[in-house]
Each structure stands twice: as C-alpha cells, then as structure tokens.
Amino acid sequence: MKKILVLLLFLQTFFISVSVTKKSISAEDWLSSWNNEMKIKIVNYIDMVTDPKNPGFIPESERFAVFDNDGTLWAEQPTVEELFIIYYAKKMTEKNPSLKNKHPFSRINDFYSNGKFVIKDRRIFDELVGIVHEGMTNKEFQKTAEDFFRETKYPGLNVPLEKIVYQPQLELMDYLRKNGFKVYICSGGETDFMRVISEKYYGISKEQVIGSELVFEYNENTNIMVRRSKLYTDNNGRAKAENIYHRLGRPAVFAVGNVRSGGDIYMLRYSQASEYPSFQLLIDHDDEKREFLYTEADNISLKWAEKYNWNVVSMKKDWKQIFPK
C-alpha cells in the first residue's frame, strides 16, 4: 500500500514536472537566483504539497521547513560565531587592560595571521568561549552581539555581515513562507546569538530559532536571566533530529543543510520520517571563485544524499548569484 502511494507520488511529480511547473515558474519567479534544474525540483514539490487535490497535499499547519545556518544560510569560513568570541574577548581586554597579559587573553592575536582569521589552537579558543559567555545576562549578551554585527566585516570577503547571507536561500525562504510554510533555523550555532539577527537577516522570528543552547539561570529577585558557560544542548548531528521533535512535535518536511562535517545528516534524514512527502537539500561548497571550496574528510553527507535521494545543490552550478547585491 505504501509502495503504491510512493509510486503514485512519483508519477504525480513526473507529470507536474512536464506540465504544471512551467506555468508556476513563469507566473511569478520567486527563485530568480536559482538555475532551472534545481528550481524545477523545488517548485514541483511545493506545487504538489500545496494542491489539495494532490495525494501529496500537506495541510498548512503541518508545513515546517528547517534550515541549518552556518554554510547553509550564510558563509562559514570562518563561522560568524567564532568571530564573535574573539570580538568579545577583545572588548573585555579593552575594558580591563590587565587581562591582556593573562591566559587565555594573551593569545587573542594568535587568531589572526596575514589578515586571515584562523583557529590554530582549538583548546585556547574553547577556553575563551567559556569565559565570554559565563555570567552574562541575556540583555548584556544581546547588546554585545548587536554591537558586533554592526561593527564587524567578514574576513576574506571584506563585507558587512549582512552581505554574507546567500541570496538564493533568502528567495527560497520567502517562497516557502508564501506557500504557508513556517521556516525555522536548526543550527549548531548558539540560539541566542542567531536570534539577534534572525528576523533582520532572514525574516525568522526569535521563537523559530533552534540551536545549541547554554544553561540559563533565572533569579526572581533581580528578574534577570544569566547565561552559564555550560551547554544545555549541543544542536549537532543526532541532536538536531531530537531537538526538532522536542520543539515541533513532528519532523519538518523540508530540510536544508550543507556539506562540511556531517552535522546536518540526521536532520535531513529525519525529515523523511514524516507521514507527508518531504524534501531535502544539501548545499555543496564547490565554488572557489564566488564563495569557498571545501569538502568533508569522510564524504558522509554526500554518501547519505545519494543513499537517501536528497537533492544536492552545487553552488557553482545551481546558484546564479550567491550574495545579495
């Protein structure tokens, strides 16, 4: 019975791809930075799940999309969160110059070499992460992160941070929302950090951000929430699937991640546990000229993409334009 349904859905998809699709695309081109091959696949899927007469129809209340952030919605060489840690550690030494000669602050300048940001010593970096977050109130954190986003340029590309988001993904998220999808971030990045820009950069409200989280401690006398440098959840790998269920109570049907560490494979795979037709996109960073070129040591994301029939986006081939103009 299930096999028949799958076959029907497949046939349906096939028919759409030769008939309905062209109409939808030419009617209003929401995905103008996408080249045709991948665009047709996306539009076919959306046409199917939003058509009440189609057996693959998904009720609007069940239309959830999850996007990883680093390397999926914006560049990650280096990750913006890593830049923030060094930014804030520097701010701390400006306020309190005596820190400058103390470990690990004495090592801050190691993170730059010929104008490039590099984490040579992950241990030192992790020590800074702990110090930076520990004991900050959520308001201080928001303020500091806002300052950071205003003041920082992305190394290598030398542009403000709002210019490192991927234009095709902005279009895709708008297109999904236009079709009744609730768009969530599901990233290894820290939730509160992404919340500072999620609305402004992506149109995603704070409550629709799922990320790694620190332990918070609430004090009812001061009515203040304080951040502890202890992880409450590390939203990577398997935890992405689990946290999607924690937050949404069902799998998201549309899932988008990227090649780098295998961190998104469980999130992509889990979307296939939905009772509805699902769609997976895996971004491959293969564009040395316009963005960055990197691969995975074990190639696990691409292997799973093949095994489970996910759509692999070649940035080089599938994206007409990468960054906003």
The CB density around residue 261, as the number of other CB atoms within 10 Å, is 17
223 binds its own copies (CB under 8 A): yes
Q: Which CB, 107 or 228, lies closer to its own copies? A: 228
> What is the residue whose two structure tokens read 């899927």?
45
Site string for its own copies, 50-89 (x = CB under 8 A): -----------x--x-------------------------
The CB density around residue 123, as the number of other CB atoms within 10 Å, is 8
279 binds its own copies (CB under 8 A): no
Out of 90, 91, 163, 250, name the contact with its own copies by CB under 8 A: 250
Contact range with its own copies by CB under 8 A, out of 34-42, 212-220, 256-264, 280-288: 212-220
User: Cβ of residue 24: shortest distance to its own copies, in angstroms?
Assistant: 28
Residues 77, 218: Cα–Cα separation, whole Å: 35
Site string for its own copies, 124-143 (x = CB under 8 A): --------------x-----
> 185: closest CA among 232, 262, 240, 141?
240
Helix (H) / strand (E) containing 16: helix 2-18
Out of 81, 82, 190, 192, name the contact with its own copies by CB under 8 A: 192
Residues 122, 56: Cα–Cα separation, whole Å: 47
Residues 77, 292: Cα–Cα separation, whole Å: 7
Residues 128, 269: Cα–Cα separation, whole Å: 34
Out of 92, 248, 261, 314, name the contact with its own copies by CB under 8 A: 248
47 binds its own copies (CB under 8 A): no
CB 246 within 8 A of CB 60: no
User: Cβ of residue 57: shortest distance to its own copies, in angstroms?
Assistant: 18
Contact range with its own copies by CB under 8 A, out of 29-37, 148-156, 263-271, 310-318: 263-271
